[in-house]
Amino acid sequence: MLAIIVLINLVPVMAEPGDSVIYDYLNENGKTTDIVKLIVVLTTLTILPAIVLTMTVFPRILIVLSFTRSAMGTQQTPPNQVLIGIALILCFFVMSPIITEIKAEAYDPYMAGDLKTEEAFDKAMKPMRQFMFDKAKTEPQTINFFLGLAGKQEVPETIDDIPSLVLMMSFITSELKKAFIMGFIIYIPFIVIDMIVASVLMAMGMMMIPPTTISLPFKILLFIIVDGWTLLFKTLVTSFG
């Protein structure tokens, strides 16, 4: 489904009105030809990772999962591939309303020939821009900072006055900040366990034994007792509400 977003975003770049053969194909009889669909889909596969990393909730989820693994001290367990897979599934779960809206409002009408390329692009970008703005507006100073870097001195009155690139930068910066805050909170109980184990080892005169080696089973036990994975997934999903 996410490829649909990129597909609609990509068409205006590949097809400039007036001087492009592809653009003529797109508007022939008001429908998109099969060859253009194939070109767009193949090109979409190359830029899809960039879209996932910059316009979705994937970065925050993956960073929080990585912090959790690091706080527990389990090294490469779960492995990176598992964390990425979990992050992708949660990302699709959170983004599903946006993807559904884009499919209904932009993709389906465009493929049916009811919308021109520019109209489909605008309709596809609208929910994505609104989503990014809703997450980034909690950090208005970040939006103002990137507006200044973009040379926009006027205070935007509506979301339409904010360039998409500024929204993307503000969104990803806000997501990184929130991910690190969540990671810090996750670290606290595991650090407490490390401190308790270290104090006990020192009191017993066993200072040569690394505290992390002894504390690891207790960290895993704590994570199991509190049903850590369910609690973590619930916190991640509800944090985007």
- 20-58 per-position pLDDT tens digit: 444 444 444 445 556 765 666 677 678 788 888 889 999
Domain ranges of the chain: 2-69+78-238
Burial class (CB in 10 A: 0-12, 13-18, 19+), 75: exposed
Q: Which two tokens stand for residue 214?
A: 């002894």
* Residue 120 dihedral angles phi and psi, to the nearest 5°: -65, -40
Buried b (16+ CB within 10 A) or exposed e, 199-210: eebeeeeeeeee
| Model pTM score | 0.79
Burial level of 146, CB count in 10 A (0-12/13-18/19+)?
Answer: buried
Bond preceding residue 78 cis, omega within 30 of 0:
yes
Three-state DSSP at 235 gives helix
- Stretch among 21-25, 40-44, 70-74, 223-227 having the lowest mean pLDDT: 21-25
Preceding omega of 163 cis (within 30 degrees of 0): no
Higher pLDDT, 3 or 76: 76
**Calpha distance 56→168 (Å, rounded):** 10
Find out whether 139 and 145 touch, Cβ atoms under 8 Å. Answer: no
Q: Which of 13-27, 76-90, 155-169 has the highest mean pLDDT?
A: 76-90
Percentages of the chain per state (helix, strand, coil), in multiples of 5: 80, 0, 20
SS3 226: coil
Which tens digit of pLDDT belongs to each residue from 81-115?
999 999 999 999 999 999 899 888 887 887 777 77
Highest mean pLDDT: which of 10-19, 32-41, 223-232?
223-232
